[in-house]
Amino acid sequence: MKRLYADIHRKTGGFDLNVLIDSDAARIGILGESGSGKSMTLKSIAGIEPVDSGHIEVEGRVLYDSSDRTDLKPQRRNVGYMFQNYALFPTMTVMKNVMAGLGKQTEENRNKAADMLRRFRMDGYEDKLPGELSGGQQQRVALARIMVTEPSLILLDEPFSALDSYLRDRMQVEMLGMLEDYKGQVVMVSHSRDELYRFSEELFIVSEGHIIRHGETKSVFREPGSAVAARLTGCKNFSAARTLNDHEVEATDWGVTLKLDREIPEDITCAGYRAHNFSPVWGERQENCIKFDLLRVDDLPFEKNYYIRTLDEDNPVCWFVQEEEQRVIEKCGLPDYLRIEEEHVLLF
Amino acid sequence: MNGFIELAKSLDWSPLWISLKTGVVATVISFFLGLWVARKVIKKDYRAKSILDGILTLPMVLPPTVAGFFLLLIFSRRRPFGIFLNDTFNIQVVHTWLGCILAATVIAFPLMYRNARAAFEQIDANLVYAGRTLGMSEPAIFWRIVVPTAGPGIASGTILTFARAMGEYGATSMLAGNIPGKTGTVSQRIAMVIQDGDYVTAGFWVVIVLIIAFFAIFLINMITGKHMKNVRKW
């Protein structure tokens, strides 16, 4: 039975953590900024960070329960934890690192560890020290070291943040492959929406110690539910907003009244729009359009970022244009307006 | 040169053995005690840590004679604890080799403790956490991960402790006295022969002490130096 249930409450030095994670998904993502409590949540599940109250259960086994004072030591939780810096033991060889969690140095354990290293394509490195390995190799050893103990849950704490960007992309794909045969649940914590979009089936967004949105990953990205969550999922443009009537909302910072087919709730205060979703318009102004008043352009390797002046000087609208669209602009010149498409409008 | 060899032949070598033995035993005691105490102290909160640290470092800062005074106060055979030790366990500290060890340990212990503590504080807590989540027992984590990782700091602390313990003079002379062949250490022998105006014998012992001290420092640099190779010069 695959189910992670973690109801965690903790007060520590001005920070309150109150999260509930209840999921039967095989790959669970936790998205949040640094300091949001996502790492603390993970550490609490593993038992290496104390909890004030709550209930933690993995595969039907209670690891922590404040009502009957259950609090298993991390050693007995059987939860694998991969640290941001991998935490390989620096004075032990790769082989000894992988065997560290197996207890006795028996022939059987040695074979187990060797098999695991082979599976992670690290055979031949048995006698190397962690310091002699590349970042990607260290990550593979760290994962082998966890997998060999057959944990009932694996926790990945910002697993790719220590890698440079080329390796990061490669290891993300590799990680999915390496975890393919693993039958238990895996929780990954990250501040990167791309990593989690790729990785997780169910996504929890945490902000200031609370879960502010959770659900199936793609639907969370489609409907983040709040401005904070939208920002974390990568939404770049926000404007103060107020409802005019059932089908009209005024985005005051953008200086545009949006006419929408859907019914608009009365208490709207904020509108969001993703930077990739604008449609360029040449010539006549159409409905739901922002005047294209260019502030500056950022040239990136595969896209251009246009910043468009709005009524709020400090809050320009960004329009991210990918190569194909860029070719159209080169042909037709800069557009006169940007159209906001109803289906992509986020209202909070 | 011949005179030197003559001197070496006729010399009473017992101070060297007494100093070495005292140094080794005091170092072994300080080593385990220092690691244990350092581990305990870094777990405490800031305030308790400062207070404990002050008390534990005191013997290193105080003049050794002050430490000797307190040791005598405790272990003198005319005082309650000294009487208790003598009557119950037949243990005498004053004017015995045990006194040498005790004085040397008290004076040298802070060096071990402080070095171990500094080394432990440099340890990445994730290493310990990783050990725990992998199911390693706390003693296994300590001896197989923490101590080896803190190795260079602990090794240099051990050597400094040994050097300090071996050369201890003030507290030792008060507690153990200078009984030739029993509690007469090298430092005490040097002071004694100087009083007789025997600069040749004193010089001979000084050379031996210099050799040992230099060797100790060389050893520390060898051990910690390995990790300094990649440090950029400035």
Q: Which of A90, A91, A149 is nearest residue B134 as measured by Cβ atoms? A: A149
Per-state percent for chain B, helix, strand, coil, to nearest 5: 80, 0, 20
Bridge partners of A206, per DSSP, are: A211
Identify residue A98 by its one-letter amino acid code.
Answer: V
Nearest to A83 among B130, B136, B145 (CB): B130
Pairing between strand A279-281 and A289-291? unpaired
Give the tens place of pLDDT for each residue, A268-285: 999 999 999 999 999 888
Strand partners of residue A322: A303
Of the candidates B126, B133, B145, the beta carbon closest to that of A74 is on: B133
Q: What is the pLDDT of residue B228?
A: 58
Contact of A292 with A256, CB cutoff 8 Å: no
Q: B135 and A92: CB-CB below 8 Å?
A: no
The CA dihedral of A219, A220, A222, A224, to the nearest 10 degrees, is: 150
Position B108 scores a pLDDT of 92
Return the HEC string of B21-59: HHHHHHHHHHHHHHHHHHHHHHHCCHHHHHHHHHHHHHH
Cβ-defined contact of A100 to B151 (cutoff 8 Å): no
> Distance, in angstroms, between B129 CA and closest chain A CA?
6
**A117-127 pLDDT, tens digit each:** 988 888 889 89
Q: Where are the domains of chain A?
A: 4-228, 237-347
d(CA B227, CA B217) in angstroms, rounded, equals 16
Q: Domain B2-225 is classified in which CATH homologous superfamily?
A: MetI-like (1.10.3720.10)
| A311 or A305: which leads in pLDDT | A305
Model pLDDT, residue A56:
94
The CATH classification number of A4-228 equals: 3.40.50.300
Those residues whose C-beta lies under 8 Å from the C-beta of residue A259, and which sit 6 or more positions away, are A247, A248, A287, A288
Q: What is the mean pLDDT of residues A191-219?
A: 92
Structure tokens that stand for A137 in this block: 């190799």
* pLDDT band with cut points at 50, 70 and 90 for residue A319: very high
Cβ within 8 Å of residue A152, ≥6 positions away? A58, A59, A61, A78, A79, A184
> Average pLDDT over chain A, rounded to whole?
90
Q: Are A319 and A290 in contact (CB under 8 A)?
A: no
Test mutation, B45, B123, B133, chain A, max A CBs within 10 A: B133
Is the CB of A46 less than 8 angstroms away from the CB of B133?
yes
- Architecture, CATH, for domain A237-347: Beta Barrel (2.40)
Q: What is the Cα–Cα distance from B112 to B168, expressed in whole angstroms?
A: 15
- Maximum CA pair distance of chain B? 66
Q: What is the torsion angle, in degrees rounded to the nearest 10, for the CA atoms of residue B53, residue B58, residue B61 and residue B62?
A: 170
**CA max distance for chain A:** 79
Distance CA B5, CA B211 (A): 17
Tokens of A69: 């004072």
Q: Please report where in the chains the tokens 């909160």 appear, as a residue.
A: B45
Residue A58: what pLDDT? Answer: 93
CA distance A22 to chain B (A): 22
In angstroms, rounded to a whole number, what is the distance separating the alpha carbons of residues A234 and A206?
14
Q: Which residues of chain B have pLDDT under 70?
A: 1-2, 225-232
Determine contact, residues A64/A72, Cβ cutoff 8 Å.
yes
CA distance A321 to A62: 50
Query: CA B66: distance to chain centroid?
Result: 17
Contact (CB<8Å) B136/A101: yes
Contacts of B136 in chain A (CB under 8 A): 75, 100-101
* pLDDT at B217 (0 to 100): 84
Q: How far apart are CA B168 and CA B175, in angstroms?
A: 12
Query: Which of B43, B46, B124, B134 has the highest number of chain A CBs within 10 A, making it the mutation to test binding with A?
Result: B134
Rounded to whole angstroms, the Cα distance separating A198 from A106 reads 39
Beta bridge partners of A298: A305
What is the distance between the alpha carbons of residues A86 and B132, in angstroms, rounded to a whole number? 14
How would you classify the pairing of strands A303-308 and A294-299?
A: antiparallel
- Rounded distance between C-alpha atoms, residue B134 and residue A260, angstroms: 55
- For residue A301, pLDDT over 90 is answered with no
* Listed residue (B166, B148, B158, B180) closest to B210, CA to CA: B166
State the Cα–Cα distance between residues B219 and B212, nearest whole angstrom: 10
Residue B86's pLDDT is 80
pLDDT value of residue B226:
66
Distance (Å) from the alpha carbon of B54 to chain A's nearest alpha carbon: 27
CA-closest candidate to residue A89, choices B80, B1, B151, B180: B151
Give dist(CA A40, CA B124) in Å, integer.
Answer: 17
Instruction: Please tell me the distance from the alpha carbon of residue B197 to that of residue B206, in angstroms, as a whole number.
Output: 15
CA dist A138 and B12 (Å) reads 59
Of B97, B93, B61, give the one whose Cα is nearest residue B181: B97
Indicate if the pLDDT at residue A17 is higher than 80. Answer: yes
CA nearest to A149 within chain B: B134
pLDDT digit string (tens) for A31-87? 998 889 999 999 999 999 999 999 999 998 999 999 998 999 999 999 999 999 999
